Amino acid sequence: MYRSHYSKEISKTEYNSTVTVSGWVEDIRNLGSIAFLILRDKKGTLQLTILKKKTPELFERLISLPRESVISVQGLCKENEKVRNGYEILPDSVDILSIAETPLPLGVVDKVEADFDTRLDNRIIDLRKPEVQAIFKIRSAVLAAAHEYLRSQHFLEVHTPKIIASSSEGGTDMFKLRYFEKEAFLAQSPQLYKQSLMATGLDRVYEIAWYFRAEEHNTRRHLNESTAVDIEMAFIQDEEDVMQILEHLVHAMWKRASECREELDILKKTVTIPTLPFIKVPYDDVVDKIQQQHSPIQWGVDLSTEDERLLGDIMKKDGIDFYFITKYPLESKPFYTMPDKEKYSRGFDLECKGVEVSSGSQRIHDVALLIERLKACGLDPKDFDAYLKAFRYGMPPHGGFGFGIERFLMELLDLNNIRECILFPRDRSRLTP
Ligand code: AMO
């Protein structure tokens, strides 16, 4: 039996006993009569100390192994204060499970950082690095917190189709595909389905799933395949009810991240839990603030990346990382957004340090108004028949948001490229691995 995952957790009670450990050969230092082999698994590294005189055959087999080969070793665990984790293992026998080819396309412990494309081209090796694994361990922890928080608020987890017949967001950023004799699309978001569910009595739903967006631009904060937490809730008063769920969700996830001490230490990051409630800045005030920085922003349009950054800097000066932008102009929001007064909407964004991490709104629940807005946005209501049906037979007021997981992680950990936060990124030029 292999003890494969707990090398670092060898306890003092195991000193002076025989243990089995398995992992990847990270490094070998051969000093002639003695050799040190560093073995790694997901918990960390340990040292094998091999004495040539004591086990000559084993010595030869181990020192000739290429780095990153996989072995399982049985040996005596001995306390040794000079070794980093307080013990070493003197092997008696070894099973060589897999010999790595040489040269390695990417080093795991190289001092010089490889360029990002080389890292992504060799992602399975890149993922062996503790600092890369730490990101995905934190990702898993914050998603567990998201599930727990949303379930505690009586949200039901659902999964909606990703192959769909019409655009979910309007616009042209859709991946087309052939669906037997028909044309279909990959879902840009679960928007149409999560809203439709509000007509069923399942009045609070959430989905953690994929967005597919055929956006042509290749930026540090866009992916063509990304993941998000989406919610939809019925019987709301207005968008304030939705924002309240969002800020508590973010708080729960951020707090959980702050508890990932080992991973944060590896990444050399500290995470300060934000205080609630998040500040709300109406769109009109945002435009004023940005114009004061001499940006040519026009009222009515969505914020550019540069405008978002400028606003992030302004808020940072007051020590604010998270803030909502509320009361967006109707013309800058998707067709399903509830209008508010003449030219405004009940749409909002949540920004973190100058980057949009979520957007949401109260939705239109009146079918006549929805058809009017579809037309005003240049869309053909016929293409939305199945969606509109959900509004014809009793639809309560409702709202929701979409919250990008990679965007959130990127800001949480101050990483400068969103691709760091997804295992195998898809962008304009990358389709493998
Ligand atoms: P929106 O299009 O703003 O809203 O998307 C919601 C959130 O998803 C993330 N996101 C992305 N992350 C990485 N790469 C991308 N290309 C990308 N596109 C979006 C962002 C963004 O804030 N249906 C609405 C949500 C709603 O109203 O419920 C929607 O999809 O973090």
1 pLDDT above the threshold of 50: no
pLDDT of residue 4 exceeding 80: no
- pLDDT tier, 113 (very low <50, low <70, confident <90, very high otherwise): confident
For residue 430, being part of any structural domain is answered with: no
Indicate if 92 and 128 belong to the same structural domain: no
- Spell 180-197 as b/e; 16+ CB within 10 A means b: eeeebbbbbbbbbbbbbb
The string of pLDDT tens digits covering residues 262-302 is 999 999 999 999 999 999 999 999 999 999 988 889 999 99
Residue-number span of the structural domain to which 36 is assigned: 7-98
Q: So what's the pLDDT on residue 294? A: 84
Task: Say if residue 258 is in the same domain as residue 387.
Answer: yes
Nearest CA to ligand 1 atom 28: 401
pTM, 2 dp: 0.95
Q: 195 and 59 share a domain?
A: no
CA pair distance 152, 384, nearest whole angstrom: 33
Rounded average pLDDT over 127-145: 97
**Residues 165 and 37 both lie in one domain:** no
> Residue 52 belongs to a domain with what CATH number?
2.40.50.140
What is the chain's mean pLDDT, rounded?
95
Last residue of a domain, one of 98, 133, 159: 98
Which residue, by CA, sits nearest to atom 8 of ligand 1? 404
**Structural domain contains residue 157:** yes
| Residue 113 forms part of a structural domain | no
Cis amide prior to 397 (ω within 30 degrees): no
pLDDT value, residue 353: 96
377-415 pLDDT, tens per residue?
Answer: 999 999 999 999 999 999 999 999 999 999 999 999 999
Residue from 226, 338, 349, 408 to probe ligand 1 pocket by mutation (most atoms less than 8 Å from CB): 226
Last residue in a domain, options 64, 98, 132: 98
Question: Which residues have any ligand 1 atom within 6 Å of their CB?
Answer: 169, 189, 191, 211, 213, 215, 222-223, 226, 228, 230, 356-361, 400-402, 404, 406-407, 418
Question: Which atom of ligand 1 approaches the CA of 401 most closely?
Answer: 28
Residue minimizing CA distance to atom 25 of ligand 1: 402
* Distance in Å, CA 152 to ligand 1 centroid: 24
Kindly state whether residues 252 and 400 are assigned to the same domain.
Answer: yes
Reply yes or no on whether 221 is catalytic. Answer: yes
User: Mind giving me the DSSP string for 366-401?
Assistant: -HHHHHHHHHHTT--GGGGHHHHHHHHS----EEEE
- Quick one: 49 and 130 in the same domain? no
Is 407 one of the annotated active-site residues of the chain? yes
Mutate to test the pocket of ligand 1, among 189, 346, 418 (most ligand atoms within 8 A of CB): 189
- 215 has catalytic annotation: yes
Structure tokens belonging to residue 426: 């898809």
Comparing 137-141, 145-149, 302-306, the range with the smallest average pLDDT is 302-306
Kindly report, residue by residue over 193-235, the tens digit of the pLDDT. Answer: 999 999 999 999 999 999 999 999 899 999 999 999 999 999 9
Which of 164, 175, 211, 253 most suits a substitution to test ligand 1, by most atoms within 8 Å of the C-beta? Answer: 211
Catalytic residue among 256, 363, 407, 419: 407
Instruction: Examine residue 349 and state whether it is found in any structural domain, yes or no.
Output: yes
Active site residue 356: yes
Q: What percent of the chain has pLDDT over 70?
A: 98
Per-residue exposure over 89-105, b if at least 16 CB sit within 10 Å of its own CB, e if not = bbbeebeeeeeeeeeee
For residue 6, pLDDT over 60 is answered with: no
Q: Report the DSSP beta bridge partners of residue 358.
A: 350, 403
Looking at the CA of residue 349, tell me the nearest atom of ligand 1: 22
- Distance (angstroms) between ligand 1 centre and the Cα of 403 equals 6
Q: Do 208 and 313 fall within a single domain?
A: yes
The reply to whether 1 falls in a domain is no
Residues 302 and 375 reside in one and the same domain: yes
Mean pLDDT of the 71-97 span:
95
> Count of CB atoms within 10 A of residue 392's CB?
9
Give dist(CA 230, CA 358) in Å, integer: 9
333: CATH? 3.30.930.10
Q: State the pLDDT at residue 2.
A: 46
For residue range 120-130, list pLDDT tens digits in order.
999 999 999 99
User: Domain for residue 107, yes or no?
Assistant: no
Count how many domains the chain has.
2
In terms of pLDDT, which residue wins out, 389 or 342? 389
Same-domain check for residues 250 and 363: yes
**134 in the same domain as 13:** no
* pLDDT for residue 172: 75
How far apart are alpha carbons 374 and 381 in whole angstroms? 6
Tell me, yes or no, whether 298 and 197 share the same domain: yes
Q: Is the peptide bond before 396 cis (omega within 30 degrees of 0)?
A: no
User: Do you know the residue count of the chain?
Assistant: 433
Residue 112 lies in a domain: no
pLDDT at 320 exceeding the cut of 50: yes
357 lies in some domain: yes
Residue pair 79/46 in contact (Cβ under 8 Å)? The answer is no
245 Cα distance to chain centroid: 19
Q: Is 428 a catalytic residue?
A: no
Average pLDDT over residues 42-63: 95
pLDDT the model gives residue 110: 82
Q: Is the pLDDT of residue 258 over 90?
A: yes
Do 372 and 333 lie in one domain? The reply is yes
Does position 363 have pLDDT exceeding 80, yes or no? yes
